Amino acid sequence: MDATNDCPSCGAPIPADLASCPGCGDPLAGAREVAVEPMRQQALFAFSLLKSAGFHPILAFHDEGGEPHTLEAEEPFSLGGGLMIPVTTTFGVYVPRSEAEESARVLEDARLGGIETET
């Protein structure tokens, strides 16, 4: 396990329990992706599952270049300024580095337990 994680944008060290960079505010600089979903509903499902399990998940979508952009979970259907999310995108669920291992296990358990909404 790495003790520190330097921000890819500004180089500031990011504590393991923070997802965002304390230096430049990059919201995902210290985060780890624990789920990638093609459907918004599935990403939201993973997000709510982790949230109810006490983690600090962050919802994001990937643009055509694969760059993640954070979304408000309460308002996941549009971007600020009324921009719509491209249909070809995928959605990612991120957690702070210190929560990555445990939250991945929670998601895996949920899938094995058949809680997945997909049939």
Contact positions toward Zn ion, by CB under 5 A?
7, 9-10, 12, 21, 23-24, 26
Q: How far is the CB of 52 from Zn ion (least distance, A)?
A: 30
Q: Is 8 or 86 the residue whose CB approaches Zn ion more closely?
A: 8
CB of 7 to Zn ion, least distance (A): 3
Buried b (16+ CB within 10 A) or exposed e, 62-77: beeeeebebbeeeebe
Length of the chain: 119
Q: Kindly report the backbone phi and psi dihedral angles of residue 113, in degrees, each rounded to the nearest multiple of 5, phi listed first.
A: -80, -5
**Residue closer to Zn ion, measured from CB, 67 or 101:** 67
- Nearer Cβ to Zn ion (23/76): 23
What's the min distance (Å) between Cβ of 101 and Zn ion? 23
Contact 96, 34 (CB under 8 A): no
Q: Residue 99 gets which letter from DSSP? A: G
